[in-house]
Amino acid sequence: MSQMNRRRALQLLAAIGTGGLVAGCGSDATENTGSTGTPIKIGLIAPKSGASKAIGDELNNGFQLYLDLNDEMLGGHPVELLVADEGNSVKTGQAAVDGLLKQGVLALTGVASSSVMFGIRDLVEKARVPLIGSNASPTSLQSVVYIWRTSYVLDEAGRALGRYLKDTLRPTDRIAMIMPEGALGGEDVLRGFRQEFGESDSRIADPVVWTSNSASPSKTAYVSDINQALSRNPSVVFCFYSGPAAAEFIMQLRDGGFRGSIYAPGFLTEGSVLESIRPANDALGIRTALNYSADLNNAANRRFASAYRKKHNVSPTTYAMASYDAAKVLDQAIRLAGTEPTPQQVNLALGRIGQIDSPRGAWQFNQPRTPQQKWYLREVQRDGQVLSNVLVNELATLG
């Protein structure tokens, strides 16, 4: 299926609606024509080192780009953006939140790690300061009042691909599922895939092959597990990796002789992963599901992607897009909260902003405070001398 007409997509999302939320739609740049309120502080939590630094940089870049395009203001208030290092553990994430709260932030955003998101949940809820999470989004984060997410819920990537592959694979195809053991989100993705594809479908080569879970694996870390999976003669591999681990997995899978189709949530090929794969042809044809593609043809994305490429000389990722949208929803909520907003007023206003005109396409918060949005199928193709995730079609509206 080709990319749907933008108007039809907007109409579809508007028709679905969200109970109790007021419909509304803003442009990429809310009317920040002057300072009408007192200065505010926003705290951004992101890793500044380690394997997740690239995601942290994208979270920072996306939020700052929105500020750049809006005179460094949100809701008519001059913004001081305070960036705290999430680190690589729950303890460092909690310290980051605690430090930002002590500085009197009006709202929080960011968070790359699902374990950190769980670890700071009670701090955020007790402080009654809204957190607009722009990456980490475990399925089991339920019954929160002050935590919102502009990214996704992890089982949705599995559901989107499960539904697609169930209908498109041949009866003779065999799927080998390979996952890092203990990786937060992996179980969510796997459960979502099985729910849509079918638990007992004979095309699944059970059981799942579990690999080591390292952010920086060695060049032989996956060899024995891959050999085990390939001994079942699969025509398709379904997997879940990101960052340096994703690049290593892809290279070791191809070195193991697999030339079939690879499907995964979009993190497998997102960000700098494609630049790390050698030879580059090993990545060609990989198909992934994600809530964003940098080549989406809508006005909001043309503006966002163009500005991002101009500033950073690379295409934006879903991490940057979700952080950009976090700034956008805060912009609208703070404006609704008035000239002297409190964290509690901003939190209430977040439930009233309605539909967001986003680079990913129109979306809105659902009752669990996560996006109701489109998911897209992308394929790694050559774009001149570089590899790129190219939009193939829309998969589903989930959330």
User: Is residue 205 pLDDT above 50, yes or no?
Assistant: yes
pLDDT value at 292 more than 60: yes
Residues sharing a CB contact under 8 Å with residue 127, sequence separation 6 or more, in sequence order: 101, 146, 343
Averaged over 314-324, what is the pLDDT?
Answer: 96
pLDDT recorded at residue 11:
37
Find the angle CA(58)-CA(149)-CA(104) to the nearest 5 degrees.
Answer: 80
Give the residue carrying structure tokens 């079939």.
260
- Say how far apart CA 264 and CA 380 lie, in whole Å: 12
What is the predicted pLDDT for the residue at 35?
55
| Lowest mean per-residue pLDDT among 3-7, 102-106, 270-274, 287-291 | 3-7
The pTM for the full model equals: 0.89
pLDDT in tens, 90-144: 999 999 999 999 999 999 999 999 999 999 999 999 999 999 999 998 888 888 9
Strand extents, DSSP E, 181-231: 209-211
**Where are the alpha helices (H) located in 83-220, listed in sequence order?**
90-102, 114-127, 154-168, 186-197
Contact 116, 332 (CB under 8 A): no
Please provide residue 44's backbone torsions phi and psi, each rounded to the nearest 5 degrees. Answer: -110, 125
- Mean pLDDT (the chain) is 91
